[in-house]
Structure 1
Amino acid sequence: MTNHGSTGRSGGSPSLPARGLIALSEGVLALEKLVVGGFMALLLGLILINVITRYAGAPLYWVDEAAVYSTVWLTFIGGSALTRLRLDFAVTLLSERLSQRHAERLQMLATFIAFLFSLSLVVMCWNWMDPLGIAAAGFDAREYASESFNFLYTEHTQTLNWPTWIVSLVVPLFAVTMSLHTAANLVEEMGLVPKKARAGFSAAEGVN
């Protein structure tokens, strides 16, 4: 994509809300990078423990489940970070055949659709976890389940015996952070703030 300079397309300084949105997105991204690194180390450790215990003839079945959930969290958090880094998968069959101006407009449309999807995911997670409903039931999981037929708060994982809702928190977390990152990307696509240059990419190159 074209670098529109430090003042964006509008010709003036970026607005405070736009700069605040970008700063918040960058802060979340920095945290996500640390969390991803932590989960990668954890996953590697769990795999090594699994290999050693199985070779010794004393497998720990909870390690398998912990590795699975670590992979799930790693995937969702990493996917959110890749969205802000613009390293997510993209089909460029059409955009490569368009002029730069129309390719930028197509990119803006794709980012807007991703933003709408992330907002829809936020709404879905709100209805799924129903925080107001569980609060109205006095945080009594059994009473809430009997009234709503939503058994999220009564279920536990098979071997770790962790509450399922805690493991599932990564989905609404992903929905919120993806909404933030796609909003920041959209602000940049609209030229309200200069596009963030990333290591390995020049400001004039498209990275998606």
Structure 2
Amino acid sequence: MGLIALRLIGWVGMWIVSLGVLVVYLSPGFTPLFVPLLGYATFRAVLQLAYIRPSLYIRRVLQQYPWKLLTGVPRGRNKHPAVQEDEMWLELPNPERPEEQIPLLFLSGMRTFWWMRRFGTARTKPELKAQIEPLWFAGDPRFIAVIAAGSRGGTTPRRLHLLYQITATGRRGVAPIDWDAGPEALERARRSGAHVPAPVSPHPHVHPR
């Protein structure tokens, strides 16, 4: 989050300085030279604003779930047979039923190109695929999670990316589902920012008179 704020300040500052130089020190004839720079700085600043919300969710997820190092995680760039969306995916075990594999999709298009290259195809270089092996993972694949690649030394996560189930987004017309998760798992996911069903209160037992 702090890095995003610094980048935003940097691009806004570049835009202001570039415009100031153009207006104060240069003649109007230099305007065509500065238009691409101003346009690019605007684009990058808006992009940083778009990163703020995912970064806040990433922070919430990491406050609730510890990092795990996973190896051999099934993944693909083509449509997963169990879902309707045609997106890249990972398969991760259900925390409460490890024999069940849950597809977790890359539903957001932001910052996915780096991951797409490393998911790769049969022609992808092994050294690229090795950059996400093992995979850093934090979260619950039934609701919301964060993945990351390891640093060069493999000691810290980098390239953090938010993943979530579409049923956990709270979008209009999309009802949340509980995946038969227990109350503690649902509450943990809720604190992470996922939309989950409200807990069902048990019916009071009425004793016959």
TM-score by shorter chain over 0.5: no
TM-score w.r.t. length of structure 2: 0.32
TM-score w.r.t. length of structure 1: 0.32
If each structure's strand is expressed as a fraction of its own residues, which one has the higher value?
2
Query: Which has the larger Rg?
Result: 2
Which is bigger in relative contact order (C-alpha 8 A, separation at least 6)? Answer: 1
